[in-house]
Amino acid sequence: MNEDFINYIWSNKLYDFKGLSVNGTGEIIKVINTGTRNTDSGPDFFNARIMIGNTIWAGNVEIHVNSSDWMIHKHHKDEAYDNIILHVVYMDDKPVFRRNKERIPTVELKDKIEEKAIERYDSFIKSKAWIACENQIASIDRFTVFSWLETLCIERLEEKADAISKRLKNTELDFSEIFYRQLGRNFGFNTNSEAFELLTKSLPFSIVGKHIDRMDQLEALFFGQAGMLKGPLTDDYPQLLYNEYIFLQKKYNLVPVEEKLWRFMRMRPSNFPTTRISQFTHLLHSASGLLNQILEHKKLNELYALFDVHASDYWHNHSFFDRPSKPKSTRLGMASVDILLINTIIPFTFIYGKVFNEEGVQDKALKWYEQIKPEKNKITTKFTSFGLNIDNAKHSQAVIQLKKNYCDKKRCLHCRFGHVLISGS
């Protein structure tokens, strides 16, 4: 038994109302309103309305496993708890008092809680399965599933938006710079995300923008800052980039990142960072004012057109400078574009609408999620095997949020699926 469970029982009224009375006095209690859950310091529930005997009380409610926890938590010394109208506990092992020595009405739920709810909750908490409800999740009605996935997707989007907001505050709301860094980081596709982020930080967008129309200079800046342009170079293409970079490096006093940061092991050549860097520069070059274009577009296929880019021809048969290799595709694949849309484009569009209070822009971002195919990874595959339908990126983002923020942390009481299964509703 824990306090979180007692809070859950109280707020959802999963107890026997008959004979609910104040310990010590026997006065009958009628719960009119359980109050609003407080997630900060202070009483657990605000603005509750309780009838004790013939008198209606309005105020706050405090929850504990044992009534003696009141003393352990030193509430008897805190004026914030003087207006508690009811003390709700699992076991009333000791009477408690306000600072003025008045005894606080206490109700014990030990024999009032539905036994099945306790058993279900206990089984979830002790479960060692991948998710606690994997054998029951398929039984949840479609409306509950749909509405909860909708909420989870927005919750995940809000978290991403909050992370972006913090970065924006550090740059005085420089959307272009932060968008450029975030897009660059995600061009690393996990394996090289840290290296890509360091690369974009070492090369501010204010500098990139001055050379956006010159593909040779743009690639020279990025490959040079990536630490990959080191002489002597034999092929014409890298030698041209090297010469451009030496000039630009001195002009802007640039310090490149370390080449050893880039990872090539256990990757397909089409995913090598050399190819990704070239694709990234081509995207910036071909879609000048990329962020503005994204915000102006309404249709998803228009976004796909923006991201239809290739690396330079040199990388068709090279994976490293001066080292020929087997021919490969250098086009940014559809699956990669989807990942960029999911992790960068949509969150940025959403936060832009949020910052400037444009609900239409936020709605557009959510609609794009619905039109993108669901991600295929361990989490989505597992939930699908349990009978959960994952039809689009909105759903796949939702189950990722569900797994990481609820299932892994055993927050079943805060999960709508968990509530349905524990309460039996």
Tens of pLDDT along 319-376? Answer: 999 999 999 999 999 999 999 999 999 988 998 888 888 999 999 999 999 999 999 9
pLDDT at 354: 86
pLDDT at residue 19 greater than cutoff 80: no
Instruction: Please name the helix (run of DSSP H) or strand (run of DSSP E) that holds residue 324, with its range, or none.
Output: strand 323-324
pLDDT at 289: 83
Q: Output the six-digit token pair for 257.
A: 């990142």
Whole-angstrom Cα distance, residue 315 to residue 308? Answer: 16
pLDDT at 419: 94
Average pLDDT over residues 246-263: 97
pLDDT at residue 425 greater than cutoff 80: no
**List of residues 6+ apart from 252 with CB closer than 8 A:** 207
pLDDT tens-place string over residues 84-103: 999 999 999 999 998 888 89
pLDDT at 170: 78
Neighbours of 298 (CB within 10 A): 12
Percent of the residues in the chain that have a pLDDT greater than 90, as a whole number: 77
Q: What is the mean pLDDT of the chain?
A: 93
Q: Which of 211-215, 230-234, 303-307, 325-329 has the lowest mean pLDDT?
A: 230-234
pLDDT at 167: 81
pLDDT tens-place string over residues 37-58: 998 889 999 999 999 999 999 9
* Widest Cα–Cα separation across the chain: 94
Whole-angstrom Cα distance, residue 341 to residue 397? Answer: 12
Q: Which of 114-128, 283-297, 373-387, 395-409 has the lowest mean pLDDT?
A: 283-297
pLDDT tens-place string over residues 136-184: 999 999 999 999 999 999 999 888 888 888 888 877 778 889 999 999 9
pLDDT at 101: 87
**List of residues 6+ apart from 66 with CB closer than 8 A:** 89, 90, 91, 92, 93, 94
**List of residues 6+ apart from 85 with CB closer than 8 A:** 48, 50, 52, 57, 58, 59, 60, 61, 105
Q: What is the per-residue burial (b if ≥16 Cβ within 10 Å, else e) of 70-83?
A: beeeebeeeeebee
| Domains of the chain, residue spans | 3-113, 171-371
pLDDT at 228: 97
Residue with tokens 């759903």: 395
pLDDT at residue 401 greater than cutoff 90: yes
Catalogue the E-assigned strands of 10-116: 29-33, 36-37, 45-52, 55-66, 84-91, 106-108
| Confidence category of residue 10, pLDDT binned at 50, 70, 90 | very high
This prediction has a pTM of 0.85
Q: What share of the chain is helix, strand, coil (3-state, %, to 5)?
A: 55, 10, 35
- Whether the CB-CB separation of 412 and 140 falls below 8 Å is answered with no
Percent of the residues in the chain that have a pLDDT greater than 70, as a whole number: 100
- Whether the CB-CB separation of 88 and 10 falls below 8 Å is answered with yes
- Whether the CB-CB separation of 62 and 81 falls below 8 Å is answered with yes
pLDDT at 23: 87
pLDDT at 276: 97
| Confidence category of residue 420, pLDDT binned at 50, 70, 90 | very high
pLDDT tens-place string over residues 279-313: 999 999 987 788 888 989 999 999 999 999 999 99
